[in-house]
Homo-oligomer: A and B are copies of this chain.
Amino acid sequence: MGDHTDGGRRPTMKDVAARAKVGLSTVSRVVSGKRGVSPAKVRAVERAVRELGYSRNEFAHTLRTGSARTIGVVATRVSDPFYSELIAAVEARAQRHDLLVLVASSGDDPYEGERVLRRVLGRRLDGVIVVAHEETDHAFLAAEREAGMPIVFVDRPPKGLAADIVMVDNEGGAADAVHHLVAAGHRRIGCIAHASGRYTSERRQDGYATGLASEGIRLDPALVVTVEDEVEVCVEALRELFALPDPPTALFITNSRTTKAVLKALRLVGRSPALVGFDDFDLAELMHPPTTTVSQDPWSIGDAAAQLLLERIAGLRGPWRRVDLGTRLIVRGSGEQAPE
C-alpha cells in the first residue's frame, strides 16, 4: 500500500518548463495566475501544460505556502442523518470558498476518537469543526490552536478547553416539550434518555426537570430511564415503565435515533402514549399519530459553525464566541392525545 500502481511519473513544473523552453519560475507564475509574464510565454506554458496533462502537486504547493485549502469535520458518526446534514451545510459553505472538506468519524470510543482527531490535525488543515467526545479532555488541542489552527466545536463544549462553539438550547427545547404535554393534560410524563453521560441528553433531561418544576409537577425518578438505541432495549425499558403502579401517559425522548427506536418498540409492545421527541426526523408526519418533535436544524448548526470557522481562518481574533441556536416545537399530534 501507499506506492501507487504507478504506470508513469507525473509531469512536474520542471517538465513543463523544459517543454515550453522557459524557466521554472515562469511556469510557476503562469500556473498560479500571477501577472508579469509576456503573453507569448504564457501561451507557450499553457500549451505545454495541456500537452503534458500537467496539474499542480498540491502537497508541494501546500508545503511551500502553508495552506491546504481544506477544512476538517470530525463527528462521532458521519452517517447519522443529523451529522450528514450538518456536514452538507459545512460543505456548501466551504465550496463557496474553494475549500475541500475532510470528514472523519471519531466513533463511540473516546480513545479512538482522540487518535482520529490527532490524525486529522496532523494535516495542518485550514481549520476544523469538531463534535467533541464528552469523556475526552481536550486540553491537548490548545497547543494546536496556538500554532494557528482554528477549531470550532459543535453541539457540546469540549472538556478542558475554552473555544468557539455552536450550541442548541437543549434545556429550553426540552422544557417546551414538557409544557406541551402538560397542556394536553398529562402529569405522568416519562423521560427516555439516550445513554447516560451524553452531554446533550443530560441537558435535555435538565430541561425536562425544569419544565416539570415550572408546572409544579414533582419529578418521579422512576419515570426517567436511560436506553441504548436498540429496539430490544427500548422494549425492555417501556415494559418497565408501563408496569409501574402509576405508569406514564406521555413520553419525552431526548433524541431522534432513540425516538425512532422507541416508536418501533411501542409498536411491539402495543402501546401508544402521547409522545414528543427531541430532534425532528424524516417521516415524523407519517407516524400514527404524527410525531410531535422539538426541532433543531442541523443545517443551521453546520452553517453557523462553518461561518465561525471561516471568520477565524480569515484572521479574526478576539474572545471565543458562542452561538446559541433556538429550537422549534413542531406540533403534529402525538403530543396532544389526552391521558386515558
Contact = CB atoms under 8 A, between A and B. Distances in A.
Interface of A: 1-10, 53, 55-60, 62-63, 65-70, 77-81, 84-85, 87-88, 91, 95, 97, 100-105, 116, 118-124, 126, 143-144, 146-150, 260, 263-264, 267, 281-283, 285-288, 310, 312-317
A68 B286 CA distance: 46
Contacts of A313: 1-2, 4-5
A310 B126 contact: no
Contacts of A58: 122-124
A121 B56 CA distance: 10
B78 A88 contact: yes
Given A79-B81, A80-B84, A87-B103, 11 more contacts: A5-B150, A5-B313, A5-B315, A7-B147, A10-B124, A88-B105, A100-B102, A264-B283, A267-B286, A283-B286, A286-B287
26 contacts: A1-B67, A1-B97, A1-B313, A2-B65, A2-B313, A3-B315, A4-B149, A4-B313, A7-B147, A8-B147, A9-B147, A53-B147, A55-B118, A58-B124, A78-B88, A78-B91, A79-B87, A79-B88, A95-B105, A95-B116, A103-B103, A260-B282, A267-B286, A281-B283, A282-B282, A283-B283
A87 B69 CA distance: 22
A288 B207 CA distance: 33
Contacts of A118: 55
B63 A63 contact: yes
A67 B3 contact: yes
How many subunits of this chain does the assembly comprise?
A: 2
B84 A122 contact: no
A8 B79 CA distance: 36
B7 A59 contact: no
A126 B84 contact: no
